[in-house]
């Protein structure tokens, strides 16, 4: 039996750049840095990031699976790499060393958690998210990351609808979405079970065009 061809948005790997960042598919050699970022409770003060207890070996095995699911077009998880010439002077050498990977410094994760093709093949929906290492927060890294992910999704992958879900208690993430200019679509009571309500966002190209104009007008466009 022949395997069906991967969908049009599928790639063996993804890579794109912003002024300060490289956003690319996770590589097996990222496992150490990934374990540090996910395992540091300061990166996850609200307890909303999953997989925080995984070992390096478990992360490595999961990255190997990710490489296959990316190629099949099921998802496209990405790592956020700070370019070496964008680091500045305000970080301890030891912190930087731990996060060093071959193309820069591993400061977070983002990407397309899932892709769903509509029944008529005309809609491609993707759920996205972002985590930024605590040492690199409040420097518009998340804004730069999500702006690039959304632009890449619309223009390169052909995404037509973006969705995003966060816990209602995740004030920083909700503020980030507000700054991005994306309106709350709905709040689902008990969406996270005992952990609280879920806040859902959903937007297409028309809403994004308006958000982008507002970001440019308020000097919050980082691409
Ligand atoms: C939410 C998160 C990604 C923000 O990352 P960041 O790089 O610090 O965000 P930015 O610097 O790009 O902030 C952009 C805007 O978000 C808002 N914001 C970010 N962090 C905030 C905070 N702690 N409190 C209030 N507002 C905040 C601000 O409006 C900010 O814009 P401004 O500085 O112009 O006012 C980061 O705190 C994080 O990784 N949290 C843990 C992971 C997580 O919960 N992910 C979501 C799972 S759905």
Instruction: Give residue-wise pLDDT tens across range 190-215.
Output: 998 888 899 999 999 999 999 999 99
The whole-number average pLDDT for the span 64-89 is 95
Asked if residue 192 is part of any domain, the answer here is yes
Backbone angles phi, psi at 74, to 5 degrees: -80, -30
Asked if residue 118 is part of any domain, the answer here is yes
From the centroid of its chain, how far is CA 40?
A: 18
Distance 132 CA to ligand 1 centre (A): 8
Number of domains in the chain: 1
The boundaries of the domain holding residue 31 are 15-217
Q: How confident is the model at residue 49 (pLDDT cuts 50, 70, 90)?
A: low
Asked if residue 223 is part of any domain, the answer here is no
Q: How confident is the model at residue 22 (pLDDT cuts 50, 70, 90)?
A: very high
Asked if residue 139 is part of any domain, the answer here is yes
Q: Is the pTM of this model over 0.75?
A: yes
What is the rounded distance in angstroms from the CA atom of residue 38 to the CA atom of residue 29? 15
Asked if residue 5 is part of any domain, the answer here is no
Calculate the average pLDDT of the chain. Answer: 94
The pLDDT, as a whole number, for residue 91 is: 81
What is the rounded distance in angstroms from the CA atom of residue 25 to the CA atom of residue 63? 9
CATH code at 137? Answer: 3.40.630.30
Asked if residue 105 is part of any domain, the answer here is yes
- Is the distance from the beta carbon of residue 177 to the nearest atom of ligand 1 less than 6 Å? no
The pLDDT, as a whole number, for residue 164 is: 97
What is the rounded distance in angstroms from the CA atom of residue 10 to the CA atom of residue 13? 8
Rounded (10°) CA dihedral 221, 24, 141, 196: 110
Distance 125 CA to ligand 1 centre (A): 24
Structural tokens at position 68: 């296959």
Asked if residue 213 is part of any domain, the answer here is yes
């Amino acid at each position: 039996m022949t395997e069906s061809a991967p969908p049009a948005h599928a790639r063996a790997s993804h890579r794109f750049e912003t002024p300060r960042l490289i956003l690319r598919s996770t590589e097996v050699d990222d496992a150490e840095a990934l374990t540090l970022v996910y395992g540091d409770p300061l990166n996850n003060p609200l307890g909303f990031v999953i997989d925080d207890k995984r070992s390096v070996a478990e992360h490595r095995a999961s990255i190997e699976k990710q490489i296959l699911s990316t190629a099949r077009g099921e998802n496209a998880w990405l790592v956020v790499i700070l370019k070496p010439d964008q680091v500045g002077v305000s970080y301890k050498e030891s912190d930087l060393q731990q996060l060093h990977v071959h193309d820069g410094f591993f400061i977070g994760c983002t990407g397309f958690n899932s892709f769903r093709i509509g029944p008529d093949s005309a809609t491609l929906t993707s759920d996205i998210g972002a985590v930024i290492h605590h040492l690199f927060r409040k420097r518009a890294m998340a804004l730069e990351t999500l702006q690039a992910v959304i632009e890449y999704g619309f223009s390169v992958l052909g995404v037509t609808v973006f969705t995003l879900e966060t816990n209602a208690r995740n004030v920083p993430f909700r503020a980030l979405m507000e700054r991005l200019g994306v309106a709350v679509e709905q709040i689902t009571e008990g969406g996270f079970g005992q952990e609280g309500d879920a806040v859902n966002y959903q937007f297409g190209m028309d809403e994004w065009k308006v958000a982008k104009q507002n970001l440019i007008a308020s000097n919050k466009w980082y691409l």
